[in-house]
Structures are given as structure tokens and as C-alpha cells.
Structure 1
Amino acid sequence: MYSQRGATGFKEKGKRKSLWHGLRRDKFLYLLMLPGLVFFILFKYVPMWGIVIAFQDYSPYLGVVQSKWVGFEHFNRLFSNPDFVKLLRNTTMISLMSLLFFFPMPIIFSLLLNEVRNVVFKRILQSIVYLPHFLSWVIIAGITFLLFSQTSGIVNLLLASYGEDKVDFLTNSDMFWWLLTAQSIWKDTGWGTIIFLAAIAGVDPQQFEAAKIDGANRLRQVWHITLPAIRSVILILLILRLGHVMDVGFEQVFLMMNGAVSEVADVFETYVYRMGIQSGQFSYSTAVGLFKSVIGLVLVIVSNRIAKRLGEEGVY
């Protein structure tokens, strides 16, 4: 009995010593990590205390401590709301279209960009496709209106000049989801290539040389060497993207939404804005936000476990 306790105590002491030694050895790395850690603690973890108001009838005058507890009343109200199915449908479809059409675009573009051999042209092209990312959604929405407005949009003016009928791009509910997806592709495809280009740069050049000797053309080199090399990066980003499946971007949807397309444009984020900011229903809007977060967390955990079973690294 004594020897077992002594061995356990010795192991624990050895672990503490090893931990302290690691901290002293890598102290500068931990100092570099400190600002990011403080940021996440102050702006990500501390505000999580506010989640409790989702289970309260919160009043700003009473505060969190004195507000009345109502349990899952706000969640029951959300699930029984006639608009819940519409909100879930719109949010899911916009995210699904983004996942199917936007997510692969940075991968495809990075593969194409990697094949450009002229260094100067490659850098100029990179800079051009990066620029839209730095434009705000207000500017993107303004450009969209200038291009696709039915009365004075450039596209409709060109169609009219050729004798074609004008198309109501902005007020057609059938086109709204496609319009949002096209905006996302144009704005963030270039920015998304940064990670994939960095992953491609880490591929051993000797593999390409060996493939050339074996007679593989550029397409086969991409398929059999480049894509397998960046597969883990693609999978990790896909898992992280699934965690935001309920987040479709408030600014983009809010700026593009109008009365004609409200039936397909209203998502959880715009609903939270109306309920929380405009109506002052803080507890109810927090419950909606918590529901979104739980769905994202479940999707990340499930997709990560699937990735692990398939032999991939996963996120954690």
C-alpha cells in the first residue's frame, strides 16, 4: 500500500516538474500566445455568462441575478413559433448552397493558381482576387444594386439594348439564394486560397519530379499528389465550416433583403435582430442564439468523430 502511494506521488511530482520545465523552456512561446489567450478569455469566455438569460425572464432593471427563472419557456416558444420552420429552411439552404458552391471554389482556384509559372503574373493575380475580401458588405451590396437593379442596373440596361426583357434579379425570390452565394464566391474566394496555397507549398517537390518521370501529366499530378497532400487541411476547414452552418452572415442578408424576398431571406440572425434589438426581447433572442450554437457544436463533434473513424486527424 505504502509503495503504491509512494510511486503515485513520485509520478505526480515528476509530472509537475516536467510541466514547470516545459514552461521555463518555452516561456517566450507562451508569452507570444498570451495576447490571444487574454483576448479569447475576455471576449469569448467571459461573455458566455450571459447565456443564462436564455433561461430567465430577463429585465435590465433587475439584472441577471434577480431576474425570474423560466427554464425552457423561451425554447418552447421558439420551436412552437410558426416562423421556426421558415427560419430553419432559409438558414439551412443558404448554408448548404454556400457549402456546395462556395467552399470548393478556394480549393479549385488555389490549384489553378499553383499551376501559374510566371511569378509576376501570379502575384498580380493573387492581389486582384484578394481585394474583394477587404470590401465591406455595404459596398458589395451597393455594387450588386448598380449591376442588377431592374430599372437602372448595368446588366438590365445591356439586356434592354439587345431587345431582351429585363430581369428582376433583386426582387425575385427564386434568385435570392443564388445571389447571396455568388456574392460570397466573388468576395472571399481569393482570401480562402491563402491557407490552401500554404498547404500546397509544403508538398515535397520530389514527388512531382518522380511523377513526371513516370509520365504523369499535370492533371494526374494534381489528382494523385496535390489533393491528397492538402486533404487534411480541407477536412479541418470543412469541419469548422459545419460549426457555422447556422451563421449565414447577418450583414449580407440584412442588406440584400427586401419585402419581395422576405419569405426566403429571413434567417435566424435577422430574426434575432428584430426580436432582440428592435423589440427588446433579450431572453428570447438569446435562446435563439443558443439554439444555433448548440447545433453548430453538435455538427462539429459528429463530423470530427466521423473524420477520426475514417483515419483523418480531425480538429481535436
Structure 2
Amino acid sequence: MTKMAEAPKAARNPFCTELIGAQAPELQFSPYRVFTREQWARLRADTPMTLEADELEELSGLLDELSVEEVETIYLPLSRLLNLYVAAAQKLHSVTSTFLGRTDCRVPFIIGVAGSVAVGKSTTARVLKALLARWPDHPKVDLVTTDGFLLPNRELDARGLMDRKGFPESFDTARLINFLADVKSGKGELEAPVYSHFHYDIMAGQRTLIQRPDILIVEGLNVLQPATFERGSVSEPFVSDFIDFSIFIDADPELIQTWYVERFMRLRSTAFRDPAAFFHRYVTLTHDNAVARALDIWRNINLKNLVENILPTRPRARLILRKGEDHRVSTVALRKV
């Protein structure tokens, strides 16, 4: 009996953990290429480190402390990738304008940063803003958070939504969409509302001025949520329709719970001590009762929102940064289709 030829082994991409051309029929297709830290770091190429140590300290979050190694390994390759995307988008816009016989101004490139409460979205958004502004082709980079488009507390109270703050229905979605539409239309000067975590409310009369940036980073819980509409109704735009490149900050929910409680307890011993702070009431609790209260808020509000509304949007992200216990990014998944 002749010996049967062995099936060819599946080829591996040295920069990717997925199998390419795998023979196993049960292997399901993934739209992502997944990179380890080491593989992703190689894609930095010759991108220079443009941040100083004191800047990293200012950009770090309460628990999410940035290191030079983390920026060089994760965020410099990402800034290089985003720079290429911005250049391609600008070229495409120029081609379209030429075809239409128009001389439109450049349209701002919008980057969305999504993920759970306490996962480190704000830190990622801040470091990307700092790095991208160092590239000569797009020096003007602005950052807004969707928190500013939450309904004021008085309105949430009136609608019975204070315990669902951060859920899709707690936002002034129409105002946010109109703001992003104005950004994309190239309007010269725009104002975004300001949210205070200290006061836990919209700050009446305060505005963030946005003046035709090259890049706008939009950070928030549900920036990747698609529009929903009933059968037979007219489809309406949603935030994700305006985003050119989307990033999802991911971690195991149990880890995020730990980070949330740690952040709550640290704020309890600092900012919450101010009588003007919204959460000042928790300063008088015992340590154990404060931990219990933090867990209660996490499980009944933030975890529920994560499971119901935020995690389902993860597969829509162009890039996923997966974090481990130490807040360091362990893998990077880049969408290939």
C-alpha cells in the first residue's frame, strides 16, 4: 500500500497569531489579525519617541500609569498606523473633491475610543492626542468625551434615569450627532459641553472650543453603538457613522471591577473629601461599607451597561487593545476586513 502524502501544514504569518490557510474545517474565520506585544512593537519602524517622562506622568490616569516602554511598544506603532490612515483619508477626500470640481477644506479625521468605565479609555485618548499632534501632517488634534453629551442630572432625575447614567438612553444623542455632523462638514468653530466627574454633572455655561482640527478624538462608552430602527421606519445616523477609525479598550470584566473599586477607594481618600464633591457622602462610610457600595454601583450600573450595550459593540472596532492585570496591553487585534 502506498503511503498517503501528509497534508501541508498551515502557513503562519510571523506577525500574527492566526492561522492562514488552515486545513481544519472547524476553524472559524476571524476578521482580526491578533498581535502579541513583541509583534506589534516591531511595527513601530523608525517612529521617534516624542514624549518626555514628565509628560507621561501628566497623561497617566489615576491607576493607569504610563511607562516609556508601554508607549514605545503599543502607542508609537498605533500612532504610525493612524498617521497612515489620516494621510489616506486626506488623499481620498482630495480625489473626490477633484472629481466634483470643488475646493473643499480638509475634513477632520475622527477617531473613536470606546470601552467600559475604568478600563483606561481616557488615558489612551490623551496619549494618542499627544502623539498624533507631533506628526507634521496633522498638528491640530482635539479631544472630546461623550460624557459632555449626557443629559443633566435634573433631566435624568425627571426621567427616572439616574441609575442608568451612561446607558444609551441617558445621552442627548441628537445633540451629539449634530455636533459630529458639524465637525465633518468643516465648520470653523464649534462648542462641546463639559462634564465634571467631580460634580457628576454637566457644567452649565462651560464649553470646550473645537476649531476645525485635523484630528478629533471622541472618547466614550458607546461610541461604536450602531443606529437602531424599527421595521418600516427611517434609519437615522448614529455616532459610529461619523467615526473613521475606532479603538476598543478591552479587559476581563472581573479585572475592570477590581480597577473600578480601586479607583473608587482612591478617590474616596482624595477628591471625595471635598464637601462639594457629588460622592462626598461616601467618605463617612467604613472601609468595608465603601467597598461594598463601590461593588454595588459596579454590578448594578456599570457592569450591566458593559454587558448589555458596550461589549456587543466590540466586534465593530477597527482595533482592539486587550489589557492584562497590570493595565499593560497584552494583545492588539487589528481588523483585516
Say which one has the larger Rg. 1
Verify same fold: TM over 0.5.
no
Q: Given the two structures, how large is their TM-score scaled by the length of structure 1?
A: 0.30
Structure (1 or 2) with the greater helix fraction: 1
Structure (1 or 2) with the greater strand fraction: 2
